[in-house]
Amino acid sequence: MNAERAPLNNVLVRRAIKSAIDCKGIVKATGGGVMECHTFIPKGMFAHYDGQAYPYNPEKAKELLAQAGYPKGIEITLTVPKFLATAGTVVKRNLEAVGIKTDLQVIAYSTLLGKYRKQGLEVVMARWGADYGDPDAQAKPFAHCRTTGPNAKVKQLAWRNVYANPELTDMVEKGALMEDRGERERVYIDLQKKWQQDGVFAILYQYSGQVGLKDKLKNFQLNALTETRLEYVSIED
């Protein structure tokens, strides 16, 4: 959600949108291969937070819209790539059920990215994956942004959504350098809780892989990045 554009610059409106989305319905509609996730650190990765600040609750969404000053609802444009058209259709239905009239635009992913990278979309649905198996790989793009201007040194996802939060940015930088595992986990858990409350993202689901193995195949591990170190795999006769 673009935090610069009204009414999305109102945190209550963003919370209403999050409350209006039925993630279980989206997972069902996709037909498999995914599972629910509500934060930027996926299940299976260190410091994943399993809570959800704003679970599906249409009545709560309506209340939040009214508190934000929009008792009769709002209008938004939701842009999605063609491969996420099914999920986009479900979200449109969810939002309109609580009074958020949604203009669903289904376009080529290359076109979407071109606009998104210039902060040019109001509400966008896209996908993202970690580059390495550490929470820092996800915290930086989703929560690190000090300025939303054109001179920003980092122009990842938070910047593209015109969302700068100094407190969250400080936490991201702190977590990246900590050596104490327990304390580092607490920082990332706290970061995700605050991010769910005030941020501009609604995470819908994550990839869920299933692999069939024969008994004689040993040491096969599928990690959170869906990468498998084949040099550790052995076959017993």
Q: What is the pLDDT of residues 48-64, one digit of tens each?
A: 999 999 999 999 999 99
Closest CA to 99 of 69, 55, 54: 69
Q: State the average pLDDT over residues 147-175.
A: 96
Residue 227, pLDDT score: 64
pTM over 0.75: yes
Helices (H) and strands (E) in the chain, counts: 9, 7
**Exposure letters 104-113 (e unless 16+ CB within 10 A, then b):** bbbeeeeebe
**H-helix or E-strand spanning residue 91:** helix 85-97
Domain ranges of the chain: 11-210
The torsion defined by the Cα of 156, 160, 162 and 165, in degrees rounded to 10, comes to -20
Residue 208, pLDDT score: 85
11-210 CATH choice from 3.90.226.10, 3.10.105.10, 3.40.50.720, 3.10.580.10: 3.10.105.10
Closest CA to 91 of 18, 8, 162: 18
Looking at the DSSP bridge assignments, the partners of residue 35 are: 206
Residue 74, pLDDT score: 98
